[in-house]
Amino acid sequence: MKKFRFPIFLFLILLISGCGEKEYSRVEFLMDTVVEIKVYHRDGAKASEAISSSIEEMKRVEEKMSRFLPTSEVSTINKIAFKESSFSSDAWIPVSDEIISLLQKAIQISDLTKGSFDITIYPLLKIWKFEGETPEVPKGNEIRDKLRLVNYKNMVLQNGRIKFVRRGMGIDLGGIAKGYAVDAAVRVLKEKNIGSAMVNAGGDIYVLGRKKGKPWRIGIRNPRKNEEILGSIALENSAIVTSGDYERFFFSEGKRYHHILNPQTGYPADKCQSVTILAKATDFADGLATGIFVLGPKEGMDLIEHLKEVEGIIVDKDGKVSVSSGLASRIEYVN
């Protein structure tokens, strides 16, 4: 088996533009992905301070919401839910307002995608172990056993508390927290009076304002050719998020397995290569892209067309590209 991992970078770049503003860029490894923040500003000290503050905010979100950090609030919730000695269907777990708000948004996306996006997928992710050094395909009986624990409707929220109907349930916010962290970083940049910036967390992107007086141009990656793009889109004050089967995967007995699991089957979703969503908020675009990846190209595009202020691009399992009606005229394709 071979596992592909991202490199880790940490540096600060200063580039001079021709319009009097300078580009300040910092790249770090956070939330198991490469995070880059670019800011255009005339004052280097203010730009650098804004970038540092936004990075710190993203770290705060990771420390609160990552299931990989034992001290995070999400880990605490899961530990209590997994603790058999104290479990009962009436055992309520106190949850912060911030987590409750994100869980409510996750439920909204689950409803929209008919359960194709489901943060209670945690028990399945535990046995797949995509983050380990030697990932392997779980046995069929293991998957069937964990599937009974995956259903967001068995997660109940009430008065700042959460409970799970079945012992052994838990949550993973990996499909939405990264987008939430991007939005949090953008809020900090706005508070610091930054008017032109881009925050990119491994494909979860928000572009703030315009770049040197023009819209930002964001490329859509070809999911089967790392160095190529399918086309590009001009954006400002918008989120754009791509979920793809190339982000984290491994091979076993010649077959490729990626990390986006179908909550209904327990195996990697097999209808798409990538899904790109444009929306006002990055966390919403993040969860929706994951859900539509599982849902598939036909139902997924129908949902995109139904939602206001949402556009999308879907590359199906055979490489066929579908573009939502409101986006078709805005893409510049690569010849």
Quick one: fold of 73-164? T-fold (1.10.3980)
Q: What angle do CA 333, 34, 264 make, to 5 degrees?
A: 75
**Residue (of 67, 86, 87) closest to 75 by Cα position:** 67
CA dist 82 → 61, 91, 213, 227, 266 (Å): 23, 12, 52, 43, 19
Find out whether 26 and 165 touch, Cβ atoms under 8 Å. Answer: no
The residues that bridge with 74 in the sheet, in sequence order, are none
Positions of the chain with pLDDT under 50: 1-18, 84-86
The pTM for the full model equals 0.90
Nearest alpha carbon to residue 35 among 173, 186, 172: 186
Domain ranges of the chain: 1-63+175-209, 73-164, 215-335
Which CATH class name applies to 215-335? Answer: alpha beta
User: Do residues 239 and 182 make contact, with C-beta atoms less than 8 angstroms apart?
Assistant: yes
Q: Are strands 272-279 and 238-244 parallel, antiparallel or unpaired?
A: antiparallel
Dig out the tokens for 27 from the structure: 């790249």
